[in-house]
Structures are given as structure tokens and as C-alpha cells.
Structure 1
């Protein structure tokens, strides 16, 4: 494995830090789908013992983000277009509900969320782009007043983040239009228009699903040709 990971200062218990570092690397595409690595490699790169790495890998397996590789080590679970489409169908239902409930509460989103999203979309920091997108949607989840929405969505966002990260590694298009859509949703919510907020949320999710699926299909095709 050639991926460079951030070293962690030694301390008695840092399983969470190792897990988060690996999760971020998988989410932003630094550790691409199919990349193989071993417990020893991660421990050496991050300057930690093998025990917390082993525990972090077990957590990633539970999340479905890594799987046993033939022979030795594990590999980042491959992405499929079908799985992304299925995830977005579930996410769409949750986002629609959250947008409507947030609109009923006439939630006023902090303008800095959209400002940050537009700013990072013009740069090259993929992790920042994904984090900004997640922050926007989680703000609406929280504004819905139903904590179960955020809890349910979290399961799917773990996988959606890495699909977004993989695509954004090679795509600079549509980043601003995504935030145009976000701003329109936030405006409908602030105005208390639940119907419009739900419709805009559905449209946004559908466009994101089809765009990610098409880009991912292209990415996977290119990966196959390079092997």
C-alpha cells in the first residue's frame, strides 16, 4: 500500500483516532475502492501499535467499508453503481421527510454553511467538499426535530461519503450547481413551504443519484481498463 496516512502521537487508547483516520481516507478517496492494506502497514505509517489498528479494522468491517482480502490483509470494499442507487433511494426518503419537517419549523439555516460549501467547492480539498455537503444535510436533519432521521441517515452517509469522494477526485463540474440547489432548499424551508422544500429535496437527491451513478460507472470503467 502506497497511501500516506497521518502519524498519531502515542497514547494508551487511540482506537477512535485510528478508525477516524482510516474512515476519512476511505471517504475522500485517498484509499480507493479495492486498495489492499495490512494491519502492520497501517501501524507503521501511523506510528501506533497493531492492537488499535486491529480494533479499528474490525469496526470498518462492521460498517462494510473493508473486507478480507485473498491471502493476507484487507481491502477497501469495492463500490457498485447498484449499491449507490439503492442508498440514494433510502436517503431521498429521509431527506424529503427532514426538509418538510424543518419547513414546518421555519428553520433559518446559518448562512455560513452555504458560504463554506460554495467556497470549498471552488478548491481541491475533497474532504472539505464532502464535509460541507454532510454539514448542510445534517443541519436539516437536526432542524426536523426528529433525532431518528439523523440516526438512520448516518448509516447510509458512511457509504455515500466515499462514493462522493471517489467521484470528486476526478470531477470539477456541477459543484456550484449543487450549492444552488442547496440554497433553494434552505430558502423554501425558511419560508415554511413544506411542499416546495420536499419537492426540491427530491429533485436534488434524484439529480445527485444519477450524476454520481454515471460518474462512478465511468470511474469504474476506467479502473477496469487500467488493470
Structure 2
């Protein structure tokens, strides 16, 4: 029997397109989202837009404000920090587990290094091209590789709700941080530690990487708020 090729639904395509626009700032925090306008702009019916909006609301990227409709959610620095705290623990554990496995399995180490280097190259190219959404996508791909090769099948699904929230935060970090190159330098350093089979260093670097991202974004959001007032959407 011939294997069926999965097709990406229109709702998934709309969702990905809107996530990209939110992450790269084309749809900034506080932007009013009108489903009819989005459907017309994306050349689709309202149904896939409604389905995508439901996912975006679940991810915390979009919020409903009563009769005023849907808006791109403003990042809550305190909530963001809580997500990063949890993710740092999960990511640190994953990095440690992978390093332990690679120390014992040489063949697995080669596979990890090859796949990780491919992602690092794509991430670096995305930085050079200034493509924030692509940077977020490759960032997540690297972390998912580490979850996958940790040997613990629960890590990825446990981290998933935090990733859905933080992919938006990551877009803000990459657009507002002074040196997005630094993030990928840290990624490369983590990959080297894991590939070397050094679980302590891998875990330490990974946790610091996540906490640095939270700190960078917190500072950027504070500076933005002080320079632009409360930033709440204007009344219609």
C-alpha cells in the first residue's frame, strides 16, 4: 500500500503565516485583528482564519477583548519569566541527558553533531538575512532535537505549552536584543558541550542560555514600556 503524504491544511497555513507576522513584528503587540480583513489578505475563507485564531488564543498570542474583537496580546513580563523558569529546567535536563547518552554511544554522537550543525548553519543564515521568524523556527528545531535525543519521551510534550507561549517572546528577544548573533553563539557552545559528552557543562550552559533570554527580553520590554507609555490599545 502506498503511503499517504500528509497535506498542510489551510488553517495550519494561516496559523503559521500569522505566527510569523507576530514574531517578526509585522503584527505588533496591540494590533487589532479583523478576521474578514485577514481572510481577504490571505486569500482564504473565514473558516481557516477562525480555526487559526482559536489556536493563537490557546497559545496566548491573541486575546479577545469583549465586543472590541481580537488583538495581538501584549507580553506579560512576569508570566514570561515564569515560562522561562520552567523551560530552563526542562531544557537543562534534556541537555544533560543527551550528553550522557552521547558519552556512551559514539554513533549517536555523530548523528547528533551532524543534525545540530545543519540547524546551526540555518540559524546563522537567518540571522544574516534578518529573518526573525526563521530564527525562531530554527531555534525551536535545535531544542526539539535535544528533547528528541534525550531518551525521555515526556520532555518534548511537557515543554510544548511553554514553547507555544515563548515563540512569541523569542521573536521579541531576537528583534530587540542588541546581538542576535550571541544567541546562536550560545547555541553552538551548547552543542559542543553535548557532543563532547559533558553533561554538567551542557546543563549549565543551557540553563544560563534560557535565563539570559528571559533577562534580555525583560529589560527590552521595560525600556519599551517606559518610552511608550502603557501601550494599551486605543478605544475605538
Please give the range of the TM-score, normalised by the shorter of the 2 chains.
0.7 to 0.9
Q: 1:219 offset after TM fit, Å?
A: 2.5
TM-score where L is the length of structure 1: 0.85
Distance in 2 between the 1:25 and 1:144 partners?
Answer: 32
Report the counterpart of residue 14 of structure 1 in structure 2: 10
Structure 1, unaligned runs of 5 or more: 1-12
Q: Is the 1:92–1:205 contact (alpha carbons within 8 Å) kept by the matching residues of 2?
A: yes
Distance in 1 between the 2:230 and 2:30 partners?
Answer: 14
Report the counterpart of residue 98 of structure 2 in structure 1: 102
Query: Mapping of 1:139-158 within 5 angstroms?
Result: 139-158=145-164
Instruction: State the aligned residue count.
Output: 214
Q: Is the 1:32–1:166 contact (alpha carbons within 8 Å) kept by the matching residues of 2?
A: no
Q: Closer, same or farther in 2 for the Cα pair 1:16/1:144, shift >3 Å?
A: same
Q: 1:28 offset after TM fit, Å?
A: 2.8
Distance in 1 between the 2:122 and 2:79 partners?
Answer: 29
Q: Closer, same or farther in 2 for the Cα pair 1:62/1:180, shift >3 Å?
A: closer
Structure 2, unaligned runs of 5 or more: 1-8, 103-108
- Bigger helix share: 2
Query: Residue 145 of structure 1 aligns to a residue in which SS?
Result: coil
Distance in 1 between the 2:227 and 2:129 partners?
Answer: 24
Query: Residue 22 of structure 2 aligns to a residue in which SS?
Result: helix
Cα RMSD (Å): 2.0
Picking from 121, 128, 147, the partner of 1:122 is 128
TM-score where L is the length of structure 2: 0.82
